[in-house]
């Protein structure tokens, strides 16, 4: 099949142009309407951020941003911060922004380019423009391509390059054209600048095919390889030079450096970042991920499992006519799932494989599958002409049935993000135009853009609103450094009296209380009627407990004061006796947090002093002791977390407004 002369007419070219134009428009429309605040994949804003860095002329960030402004998927190398991704796709986003004022056209361009690349690749295999146009259409209308095309992720762009590489390589082998071979090599180099591992996987099937089918004509094969290498060489020089400049070694890539070596091929403990949640990637986990992702893939095709059946049928028919071409298509189809068995993050796509963004590492399977599906349709056409429209109608119907759950997932992500962004925007409206410094919610991975990718800074930190990661008591230093900005803190908690449906984010004004002593005027209210009420204060691991009442009634209120000094805690208020560290009261008064810089004031309500798991209300903030001009002073951040702990069989902490049970006012005292 690969040696017949291409035939067709101009109307199919028009059809391909229309398909590409529709893909261009859909990519932008999907981003604007389905992913207005990103897709939920936290890699997305990193590409945008890297594009902004390139616009500023920067490949890395100052190491000074590491403590409080570290972007997601960045890590230190020396005195600089290295971002995770290769520079070509961010550069495309940056150029689009410079030329049009928006990065969105780059998404449309990537989608349209992938359509054209699929067309030319299919033309090399199927040898007719009509057939190639059908393959391009089947590729373009697949939910997999449509959804990923509407994101700032680089998968569709990489598939456009990879599929163009397929088409150029096949043409170079067929025609022995030096120019085509030169462009083949250049395209492959561009893939290395985008997704280096994908470049290897794209090359292997073509190399195997070339050796298997051209081994008797070694001179022509060597000519193609030589010119392809010439096309690749300049871009490989760029790759090596950028790796040396950014990562410190010619063959060291940014993903490894930014993750501190935690993100790598092979098995063992793997993570996106040293301080992010990871997994123990085992061969068993790899096989499970392969099965789950392959099972989910057909649901992202136009026609779902009918389309997969059509591709299998087409492959079977093609195998009987041209085994070398079929072998190539099968190799192109399965090289990516097999290759990504060694990549730990393929296991992370399982959760979103069915309804999230799909098994996105497998997107390069789409062009060869589209060709096999097209060949299956051609075989149906030769059997019964009416079979093709019936098959396409059935494929359309089952696709409609498959889409609602996928769209529901994306609608949930979009609405959740919109609600959060709206609440933050509403809370920050109180600043009256003054510049703001906003501490993000404390999470396990201390990065800006994770888990809220739309709360981001510009690379040069010139924004009116700066978002900073939560570093505990060290936040005091940040507030002192940015005294000209109003300081706020984001806290998600259940409002008083609200049903447990969602926890809206609160924007709390934050300041530093600083003095030789700090007093906490506290009111404890017994709202559940438990007879034993205990007040406690935790300063790191040091705990002070006071028994307020052993015969309390519902509605009773207790006013008390805790005073914190650099080396002492004092209590004033109603107290039957201090409990200290009595074993019987250890669980009754133990604090929720374990951090050494956390200060927690709490009240517990139980049936007895030794109640193992009473109801608790707790007010938490960060504090420390530091050197002042006249000696040691206590420093406390005034924007607290509030928590309630359900007793009994539930025994779980919940972030909630506890002011009905525990109210705290802070007053600092200077000597």
Question: How would DSSP label each residue in 577-631?
Answer: EE-TT-GGGHHHH--S---TTEEEEEEEEESSTT-SS-EEEEEEEEEEEEEETTE
Of residues 291, 307, 437, 305, the one with CA closest to residue 370: 307
pLDDT at 585: 39
The single-letter DSSP state of residue 442 is P
Q: Strand runs (DSSP E) across 29-171, as ranges?
A: 61-62, 74-77, 80-83
Least confident range of 313-322, 389-398, 490-499, 563-572: 490-499
The dihedral sign for the CA sequence 79, 82, 88, 94:
negative
Tell me what the mean pLDDT of segment 75-96 comes to: 95
Tell me what the mean pLDDT of segment 101-126 comes to: 97
pLDDT at 582: 45
Question: Model confidence over 420-448: pLDDT tens digits?
Answer: 999 999 999 988 889 999 999 987 668 99
The single-letter DSSP state of residue 441 is P
Mean pLDDT (the chain) is 91
What's the 3-state SS for 300-338?
A: HCCCHHHHHHHHHHHHHHHHHHCHHHHHHHHHHHHHHHH
pLDDT at 581: 52
pLDDT at 583: 38
- Cβ contact 453:37 at 8 Å: yes
What whole-number distance in Å separates Cα of residue 633 and Cα of residue 610? Answer: 36
Confidence of residue 283 (pLDDT cuts 50, 70, 90): very high
Residue 79, pLDDT > 60, answer yes
Tell me what the mean pLDDT of segment 563-575 comes to: 90
Where are the chain's structural domains?
10-407, 512-669
Per the rule left: phi > 0, alpha: psi between -120 and 50, beta: everything else, 113 is alpha
Q: What percent of the chain has pLDDT over 70?
A: 94
What whole-number distance in Å separates Cα of residue 303 and Cα of residue 409? Answer: 20
What whole-number distance in Å separates Cα of residue 422 and Cα of residue 256? Answer: 36
Residue 628, pLDDT > 90, answer no
What whole-number distance in Å separates Cα of residue 509 and Cα of residue 487? Answer: 6
pLDDT at 592: 59
Residue 589, pLDDT > 70, answer no
Q: Can you tell me whether residue 34 is helix, strand or coil?
A: coil
Tell me what the mean pLDDT of segment 611-618 comes to: 86
| 366-383 vs 155-175: helix crossing angle, rounded to 10 | 60
Least confident range of 251-255, 417-421, 539-543: 539-543
Q: Can you tell me whether residue 92 is helix, strand or coil?
A: helix
What whole-number distance in Å separates Cα of residue 510 and Cα of residue 443? Answer: 18
pLDDT at 500: 66
- CA distances (Å), origin 548, targets 529, 532, 580: 14, 8, 13
Q: What percent of the chain has pLDDT over 90?
A: 76
Other CB atoms within 10 Å distance of the CB of residue 617? 24
pLDDT at 125: 96
pLDDT at 3: 38
pLDDT at 550: 92
Of residues 635, 639, 636, 641, the one with CA closest to residue 620: 641
Mean pLDDT highest for which of 9-13, 184-188, 269-273, 387-391?
184-188
Least confident range of 81-90, 259-268, 580-589: 580-589
Question: Model confidence over 199-248: pLDDT tens digits?
Answer: 999 999 999 999 999 888 888 999 999 999 999 999 999 999 999 999 99
Find residue 559's DSSP bridge partners.
523
Q: Can you tell me whether residue 435 is helix, strand or coil?
A: coil
Confidence of residue 651 (pLDDT cuts 50, 70, 90): low
What whole-number distance in Å separates Cα of residue 640 and Cα of residue 632? Answer: 23
Tell me what the mean pLDDT of segment 30-55 comes to: 95
Q: Can you tell me whether residue 57 is helix, strand or coil?
A: coil
Question: Model confidence over 302-352: pLDDT tens digits?
Answer: 999 999 999 999 999 999 999 999 999 999 999 999 999 999 999 889 888
Other CB atoms within 10 Å distance of the CB of residue 554? 11
- Cβ contact 76:67 at 8 Å: no
- Cβ contact 48:93 at 8 Å: yes
Confidence of residue 275 (pLDDT cuts 50, 70, 90): confident
The distance in angstroms from the start CA to the end CA of the chain is 91
Of residues 130, 220, 149, 240, the one with CA closest to residue 178: 220
- CA distances (Å), origin 378, targets 134, 313, 388, 393: 10, 11, 8, 16
User: Does 192 or 504 have the greater pLDDT score?
Assistant: 192
Asked if omega into 451 is within 30° of 0 (cis), the reply is yes
Least confident range of 4-8, 126-130, 204-208, 509-513: 4-8
């Amino acid at each position: 099949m690969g040696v017949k002369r291409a035939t067709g007419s101009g109307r199919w070219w028009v059809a391909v142009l229309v398909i590409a134009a529709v893909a261009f428009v859909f990519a932008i429309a999907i981003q604007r309407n389905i992913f207005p605040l990103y897709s939920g994949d936290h890699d997305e804003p990193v590409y945008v951020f890297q594009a902004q860095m390139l616009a500023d002329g920067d490949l890395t960030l100052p190491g000074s941003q590491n403590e409080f402004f570290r972007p997601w998927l960045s890590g230190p190398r020396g005195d600089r911060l290295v971002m995770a991704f290769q520079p070509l796709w961010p550069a495309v986003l940056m150029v689009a922004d410079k030329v049009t004022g928006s990065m969105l056209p780059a998404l449309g361009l990537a989608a349209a380019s992938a359509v054209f690349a699929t067309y030319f690749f299919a033309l090399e295999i199927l040898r007719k423009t009509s057939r190639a146009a059908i393959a391009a259409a089947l590729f373009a209308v697949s939910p997999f391509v449509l959804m990923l095309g509407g994101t700032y992720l680089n998968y569709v762009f990489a598939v456009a390059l990879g599929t163009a590489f397929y088409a150029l390589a096949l043409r170079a082998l067929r025609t022995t054209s030096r120019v085509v071979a030169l462009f083949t090599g250049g395209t492959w180099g561009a893939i290395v600048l985008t997704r280096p591992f994908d470049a290897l996987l794209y090359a292997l099937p073509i190399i195997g095919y070339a050796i298997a089918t051209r081994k008797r004509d070694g001179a022509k094969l060597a000519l193609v390889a030589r010119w392809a290498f010439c096309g690749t060489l300049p871009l490989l020089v760029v790759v090596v030079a950028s790796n040396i400049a950014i990562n410190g070694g010619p063959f060291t890539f940014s993903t490894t450096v930014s993750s501190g070596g935690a993100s790598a091929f092979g098995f063992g403990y793997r993570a996106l970042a040293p301080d992010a949640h990871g997994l123990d990637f085992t061969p068993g986990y790899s096989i499970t991920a392969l099965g789950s992702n392959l099972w989910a893939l057909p649901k992202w095709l136009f026609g779902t499992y009918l389309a997969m059946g059509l591709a299998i049928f087409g492959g079977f028919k093609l195998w009987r006519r041209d085994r070398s071409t079929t072998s190539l298509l099968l190799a192109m189809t399965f090289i990516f799932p097999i290759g990504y068995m060694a990549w730990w993050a393929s296991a992370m796509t399982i959760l979103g494989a069915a309804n999230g963004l799909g098994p996105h590492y497998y997107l390069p399977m789409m062009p060869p599958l589209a060709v096999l599906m097209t060949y299956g349709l051609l075989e149906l056409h030769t059997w019964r002409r009416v079979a093709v429209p019936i098959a396409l109608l059935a494929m359309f119907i089952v696709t409609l049935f498959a889409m609602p759950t996928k769209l529901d997932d994306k609608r949930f992500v979009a609405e959740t993000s919109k609600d959060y962004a709206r609440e933050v925007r509403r809370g920050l409206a109180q600043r009256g135009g003054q510049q703001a410094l906003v501490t993000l919610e404390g999470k396990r991975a201390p990065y800006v853009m994770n888990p809220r990718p739309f709360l981001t800074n510009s690379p040069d930190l010139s924004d009116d609103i700066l978002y900073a990661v939560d570093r505990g008591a060290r936040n005091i230093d940040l507030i002192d450094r940015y005294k000209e900005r109003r300081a706020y803190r984001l806290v998600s908690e259940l409002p008083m009296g609200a049903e447990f449906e969602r926890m809206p984010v609160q924007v709390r004004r934050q300041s530093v209380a600083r003095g030789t002593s700090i007093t906490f005027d506290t009111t404890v209210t017994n709202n559940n009627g438990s007879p034993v009420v205990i007040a406690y204060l935790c300063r790191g691991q040091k705990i002070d407990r006071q028994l307020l009442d052993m015969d309390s009634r519902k509605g009773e209120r207790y006013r008390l004061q805790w005073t914190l000094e650099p080396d002492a805690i004092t209590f004033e208020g109603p107290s039957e006796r201090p409990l200290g560290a009595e074993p019987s009261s250890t669980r009754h008064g133990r604090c929720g947090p374990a951090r050494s810089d956390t200060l927690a004031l709490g009240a517990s309500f139980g049936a007895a002093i030794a109640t193992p798991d009473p109801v608790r209300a707790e007010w938490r903030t960060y504090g420390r002791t530091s050197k002042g001009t006249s000696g040691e002073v206590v420093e406390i951040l005034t924007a607290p977390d509030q928590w309630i702990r359900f007793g009994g069989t539930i025994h779980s902490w919940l972030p909630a407004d506890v002011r009905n049970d525990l109210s705290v006012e802070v007053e600092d005292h200077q000597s």
